[in-house]
Amino acid sequence: MVSARTSPLHFVPPTATDPRRALTDRIKALARQHGLAVTAITSADPFPDVAEHLDQHITHGHLTGLDWFTSERASFATDIRNLHEGAISILSVALPYWPGPTEKPDDGVARGRISRYAWGKDYHRVIKRRLTALQSAVEAELGRELDTRRLVDTARVVERAVAARAGLGWYGKHSNLIVPGHGSWVLLGELVLDLDLVPDAPLNRDCGRCAICIDRCPTGAIVAPYTVHAPSCISYLTIELREAIPPELRASMGDWVYGCDVCQEVCPYTGAAHRADDADLLPKSLNNAYPSLHWLLTMSQEDFGATYHGTAVPRAKRRGLARNAAVALGNIGTDADIPMLSAALAGHDEALVRGHAAWALCRLGTTGSRDALDRSLRCDPDPSVRAEARAARLSL
Ligand code: SF4
Ligand code: SF4
């Protein structure tokens, strides 16, 4: 029997006069007015496939070092109603941040690279502030308080799944979401709502035969389509890893000191990405985008705070950024950088940085390097630094 609900004779296409459709359209329009131009809606129903997918990744060690990715957390967060009981719909938002093609300045200064998403203000705060303003605007129109939750990275295990089911974008083989018109240069957030809104349909798209990002990843971290092995990914190594970077990966890290954009840069969809001139996401100085490696190696905690406060960069901490600068200088430096690296090896207050300076000196390999390494072997009080200096000396 065909029910009245499913009979084509009784199907009424949604129109702007349908109150549910009208409310959905109005919320998206308000989102645009509040700096959230790219939005889509999905229901708050669970995401059962995500927990299984994450379990497999955890089992194979692809998320090792990312302690927040646990099976328990995955299965909890894959039902948004565990986080917010009254959830009915989710507004998925994407903040585009592609600044257009940019080149590192050719100014004779050895410079590193910061991943573009971290150039401007911390996106967590930017998106949350805009979601808060949007919520207030919706409440003003409805004349009542909403029971909502604003999420940015909070339920990171389901964030991309929410966006994909909402049709905001689709998964690229580099495991980022690709959004039409913006490539993967988007930052995601969600507004969980107690409103019954019209969901959008998922996009039926994929990468086809393309595998450019897999081939071009400098460390081979994309071990299979849609599978990034985090312990080899430069993003993890430069931001999340607190200890020494595995020596065998250092030479592949190039000049990245915070994150890595390579798999996004090489993706053909980047060529079609619109330039996003969002003032909140633009760098306030050159050191927020292409920092001087010498400066990173000598910056005080005050310098670090003054330059990076309010951005995402403090996540790497001063010692992590200086460690990464030593590696980058080993990769792109010249003889002219030996004195700076020798000074870092002899006198940086962090043993982690001294150790990586030893590796960098070995990589640049000159008589000056040898002398600095010999001094370190004799004098450094930290056994981990002496071990790095010994390994470097043996390789010279
Ligand atoms: S961010 Fe860099 S290292 Fe990580 S998967 Fe992409 S290209 Fe590879
Ligand atoms: S580079 Fe190719 S395979 Fe990788 S995400 Fe882009 S389209 Fe997909």
CATH number of domain containing 378:
1.25.10.10
Using CA atoms, how far apart are residues 56 and 60, in angstroms rounded to an integer? 6
Among the listed residues 203, 85, 67, 94, the one whose alpha carbon sits nearest the alpha carbon of residue 152 = 94
260 lines ligand 1 (CB under 6 A): yes
**Are 216 and 234 found together in one domain?**
yes
Q: Which atom of ligand 2 is the closest one to the Cα of 270?
A: 6
Other residues' Cβ atoms within 10 Å of the Cβ of residue 173: 22
Amino acid at 219: T
Query: Ligand 1 centre from 328 Cα, in Å?
Result: 16
Cβ atoms < 10 Å from Cβ of 332: 15
- The residue whose CA has the least distance to atom 6 of ligand 1 is 263
Q: 48-59 vs 156-165: helix axis angle to the nearest 10?
A: 130
How high is the pLDDT of residue 8?
Answer: 43
What six digits make up the tokens of 55? 């379990």
Residue of 25, 45, 153, 194 with catalytic role: 153
**Residues 6+ positions from 209 with CB-CB distance below 8 Å:** none
Query: Cα of 271 to ligand 2 centre, how many Å?
Result: 12
Closest ligand (CA of 175): 2
In a domain, residue 384? The reply is: yes
Identify the helix (H) or strand (E) that includes residue 224.
Answer: strand 222-224
Task: Give the relative orientation of helices 367-379 and 351-364 as an angle to the nearest 10 degrees.
Answer: 150
Ligand 1 in contact with 249 (CB < 6 A)?
A: no
Residue 3 lies in a domain: no
C-alpha 276/C-alpha 95 separation (Å) is: 9
Answer with the one of 259, 287, 315 that is the final residue of a domain: 287
Residue 278 lies in a domain: yes
Question: Which among 136, 140, 153 is positioned nearest to 190, based on CA atoms?
Answer: 153
Q: Is residue 235 in contact with ligand 1, taking CB distance under 6 Å? A: yes
Residue 342 Cβ < 6 Å to ligand 1: no
| pLDDT at position 12 | 47
120 shares a domain with 73 = yes
198 and 346 co-located in one domain: no
Do the domain assignments include residue 139?
A: yes
| pLDDT per residue of the chain (396 residues) written in tens, 0 to 9 | 334 343 444 444 555 579 999 999 999 999 999 999 999 999 999 998 888 888 899 889 998 888 877 888 778 878 889 889 999 999 999 999 999 989 999 999 999 999 999 999 999 999 999 999 999 999 999 999 999 999 998 766 689 999 999 999 999 999 999 999 999 999 999 999 999 999 999 999 999 999 999 999 999 999 999 999 999 999 999 999 999 999 999 999 999 999 999 999 999 999 999 999 899 999 999 999 999 999 999 999 999 999 999 999 999 999 999 999 999 999 999 999 999 999 999 999 999 999 999 999 999 988 889 999 999 999 999 999 999 999 999 998
pLDDT on residue 15: 54
Same domain, 278 and 308: no
**Cα-to-centroid distance, 365 and ligand 1 (Å):** 28
CA gyration radius, the chain: 24
C-alpha of residue 174 to centroid of ligand 2, in Å: 7
Please name the residue whose Cα sits nearest to atom 2 of ligand 2.
210
Contact 39, 93 (CB under 8 A): yes
What domain range is 303 assigned to?
292-396
| Ligand 2 in reach of 183 Cβ (< 6 A) | no
Half-sphere exposure of 55 (CA within 13 A, CB side): 11
DSSP assignment, residue 67?
T
| CA separation for the pair 358, 364 (Å, rounded) | 10
pTM: 0.93
**Chain centre distance of CA 68:** 15
Are residues 337 and 240 both part of a single domain?
A: no
Q: Are 257 and 317 in contact (CB under 8 A)?
A: no
Same domain (yes/no): 120, 269: yes
Is 4 contained in some domain? no
Nearest ligand, measured from the Cα of 213: 2
Of 254, 287, 320, which closes a domain?
A: 287
Separation of CA 250 and ligand 1 centre (Å) = 14
Residues 51 and 192 both lie in one domain:
yes
| Residue 270 domain-assigned (yes or no) | yes
CB of residue 212 inside a 6 A radius of ligand 2: yes
Q: Is 286 in the pocket of ligand 2 (CB under 6 A)?
A: no
**For ligand 2, is residue 177 a contact (CB within 6 Å)?**
no
| Statement to judge: residues 274 and 303 lie in one domain | no
What are the tokens at 348?
């940086």
- CA dist 241 and 66 (Å) reads 9
In this structure, are residues 124 and 313 in contact, taking their beta carbons and an 8 Å threshold?
A: no
Give domain status of residue 1, yes or no. no
Number of domains in the chain: 2
The residue whose C-alpha atom lies closest to atom 8 belonging to ligand 1 is 217
Q: Are residues 254 and 358 in the same domain?
A: no
153 classed as catalytic: yes
Indicate whether 192 and 339 sit together in one domain.
Answer: no
Which residue matches tokens 């379990």? 55
Tell me the C-alpha to C-alpha distance, in Å, between residue 207 and each of 105, 197, 225, 308: 33, 30, 10, 36
- Same domain membership, residue 344 and residue 322: yes
- What number of residues does the chain have? 396
Residue 2 covered by a domain = no
Residue type, 304: F
End position of a domain, from candidates 241, 265, 287: 287
Clarify whether residues 254 and 330 are in a common domain.
Answer: no
Element (H, E) at 38: strand 38-43
Report which secondary-structure segment, H or E, holds 77: helix 71-77
